[in-house]
Chains A and B, each alone.
Chain A
């Protein structure tokens, strides 16, 4: 018999998040009721907006791809006991890497440029994570503080570059010129079209395959390699890790470099996959959503996939809701997303103990 508060795996990973989600939607429904709209209609609109048509599904999966990258980035660092809040900045600078490749080699063959762009995204994102990681490892500067600061430095740098250096001459908007045709990640509707399956156009692109591959690689790395083992040991007990001969500095640096590289890949999805130019603030907060995604996904790639899908659906469904319900504005949508994060992340224990007690009793009575 398990101790109170301990749940069987199916309940911990399935039932509990579902309960939390329902609670969040319930509160959201109350608020929607308060502003005079029907909660049921709103829910239907959101669901239809996220999954109701091919292009809605495309948008949902496009957003989800972003969140997989940033969620994995947070998770890898968390396994090493490092809280990387700098996903936003690392993604921004990763996008700079993608963009520079796209602008410089856009006329080459995509077979060369796309891998080059992915490599640049990882390298730039990792480089941006390196400084806070080094400061934490060598100087003990708290990485939460430094990564937040690096988000601001990243946006300052990008604004400067886009306004003064990379801007397409003669226009108001701080955006670079468009990449050449070689630096375009094929979209899913094009790829499916080539094999004869029609799919409505959306920014959903093949970077999503990269995201799936990243999930697999992260799983292999964390649970099937020595380095991953060292990372987890260090994350759970730094003293024991030190005693076992695991270098704290090395572990922090490795985890942060991988984390930054993963976050940087967001640039591949957004810039090579969708915008085909560098523009201001393309991460759009996905770096921070990654924290919630990792939290909800229990830092496991499978959980992160599911949580990314949920947040992708909330983004896309929420946008549809704001589009179709005149009284629901974008702040309302942020409120719903915030409630989901609150219930699934911060308050996830409110149902844990009662649920454990309930299951325990049911299990107990079933056995006797």
Chain B
């Protein structure tokens, strides 16, 4: 059947879907390699799914990727089994989404951390450099040694984006501060190896760092554990991880993937979903630093004042955070 553009047909279709029960709305989500329990990026997406399910009672089909060939296969299967809207989490999904979205022009797609320019795809990206900048500031203000650490998952553009923002934030507070930077690996295991994360953090502590920021998915769990063990500070990533080690996690560079996922599903259900590209930064509450009961005691009022000032300055454009561009 060819999609028709006649307004009558559209109205008719709308009445039919409107009249049908909520069970006909079938959302699906495809997680990336880290898996939905990485307590970080994918889990944030999973939180959004759970909130949506709780609010509407509609179950969401889920799948966690195991190898590269599965991406297209699973997206195709979701589409064929009548999914109304499919969220693909992670930059690695871009090419698969592009292929499958062309095959199923009536299915709505959303891809996170990548851009796919098609009329039935919504691309959601975040300005991670902005929250990383604030975390860099917090790290530099909390550090007593003038040395702070960064543990990234893999030396790829996305992580360089975090690193660059973090460095800029550190330099804004203390131009003389040293940033020790390590990447955990070059295989997908780089995102799922907490003991390696702990080793790297310990080596950074050995070189004098006393605050460490991770952008390494599940590997970061080890980074934060190492900081808690040594009585030093860590900074969480993607999800709000302050609760993991209260009193040791200085703050988290929160990326509201959960909100993005929930919004996609809710909009699609309400019929207000739109394709196109959205970039969410501090101004849109897409990224932020976290402040809650778990890290309240670590943040002095002075730190909080300067962070909020910088946040306002970034939103107003008075501070321009450098952004990594791939070559």
Interface 9-residue window, one of B68-76, B171-179, B279-287? B68-76
Which residues on the A side are within 8 Å of B74 (C-beta)? Answer: 319, 323
Contacts of B64 in A (CB 8 A): 322, 329-330
User: Do A159 and B77 form a contact, CB below 8 Å, given A164-B327, A172-B157, A284-B68?
Assistant: no
Assembly CA distance A342 to B63 (angstroms) = 26
A55–chain B nearest beta-carbon distance, Å:
8
- Which residues of A, 317-346, contact B by the 8 Å Cβ criterion? 319, 322-323, 326, 329-330, 333-334
Interface status of A137 (Cβ within 8 A of chain B): no
CB distance A59 to B69 under 8 Å? yes
Q: Does B158 contact A (CB under 8 A)?
A: yes
Residues of A within 8 A of B63 (CB): 322-323
**Residue-by-residue, is A252-292 near B (CB-CB < 8 Å gives 1, otherwise 0)?**
00000000000000000010001101011110110000000
Task: Assess the B155–A163 pair: CB atoms within 8 A.
Answer: yes
A62: chain B residues at CB < 8 Å are 69
| A171 partner residues in chain B, CB cutoff 8 A | 94, 114-115, 157, 326
> Is B326 a contact partner of A156 (Cβ separation < 8 A)?
no
Residues of A within 8 Å of B, CB-based: how many?
39
Contacts A158-B186, A280-B92 given; does A172 touch B67 at CB 8 Å: no
B156: interface (CB < 8 Å): yes
Interface size class of B (residues with CB under 8 A): 20 to 34
Decide if B326 touches A169 in the complex (CB within 8 Å): yes
Residues of A within 8 A of B187 (CB): 152, 155, 281
Residues of B within 8 A of A172 (CB): 91, 94, 113-115, 125, 156-158, 326
Closest A residue to B33 by beta carbon equals A281
Q: B222 at the A/B interface (Cβ < 8 Å)?
A: no
A203 located at the interface, meaning its Cβ lies under 8 Å from any Cβ of chain B in the complex: yes
**A106 within 8 Å of B (CB atoms):** no
CA distance A163 to B68 in the complex (A): 18
From the candidates B35, B66, B154, name the one contacting A319 in the complex (CB within 8 A): B66
Given the complex of chains A and B, what is the CA–CA distance between A175 and B71 in angstroms? 15
CB distance from A226 to the nearest CB of B (A): 40
B94: chain A residues within 8 A (beta carbon): 171-173
Q: Which B residue's beta carbon lies closest to that of A334?
A: B66
B 154-167 to A, binary, CB cutoff 8 A, 1 in contact else 0: 11111000000000
Residue of A nearest to B74 (CB): A323
Is A108's CB within 8 Å of the partner chain B? no
Q: Mark B41-82, 1 if CB is under 8 A from A, else 0.
A: 000000000000000000000111111111011100100000
- For A173, the chain B residues whose CB sits under 8 A away are 91-92, 94-95, 114
Answer yes or no: B188 CB below 8 A from chain A CBs.
yes
Q: At the interface, yes or no: A366 with Cβ under 8 Å from chain B?
A: no
Contacts of A158 in B (CB 8 A): 186
**Within 8 Å CB of B68, what residues of A?**
270, 275, 279, 281-282, 284
Question: Can you name the residue of chain A whose Cβ is closest to the Cβ of B93?
Answer: A173
Report the separation of the CA atoms of residues A159 and B154 in the bound assembly, to the nearest whole angstrom. 8
The answer for the CA separation of A246 and B171 in the assembled complex, in Å, is 65
A326 with B62, Cβ < 8 A, contacts A158-B186, A159-B186 known? yes
A282 to chain B, nearest CB (A): 6
Q: Compute how far the CA of A315 lies from the CA of B67 in the bound complex, rounded to whole angstroms.
A: 10
Q: Within A294-314, which residues are at the interface with B (CB < 8 Å)?
A: none
**B185 surroundings in chain A (CB, below 8 A):** 155
Indicate if A170 sits at the interface (CB-CB under 8 A): yes
Partner among A159, A175, A203, A277 whose Cβ is within 8 Å of the Cβ of B69? A203
Output the least CB separation between A330 and chain B (Å): 5
Report chain A residues within 8 Å CB of B95.
Answer: 173, 175, 275, 277, 279
State the CA gap A172–B156 with chains docked (Å).
8
B154 CB to nearest A CB, Å? 7
Q: A155-B185, A277-B95 are in contact. List 19 more A-B contacts (CB 8 A).
A: A59-B69, A156-B186, A158-B186, A159-B155, A167-B326, A171-B94, A172-B125, A174-B156, A203-B72, A275-B68, A281-B187, A282-B68, A284-B67, A319-B73, A322-B63, A323-B63, A323-B74, A323-B77, A330-B65
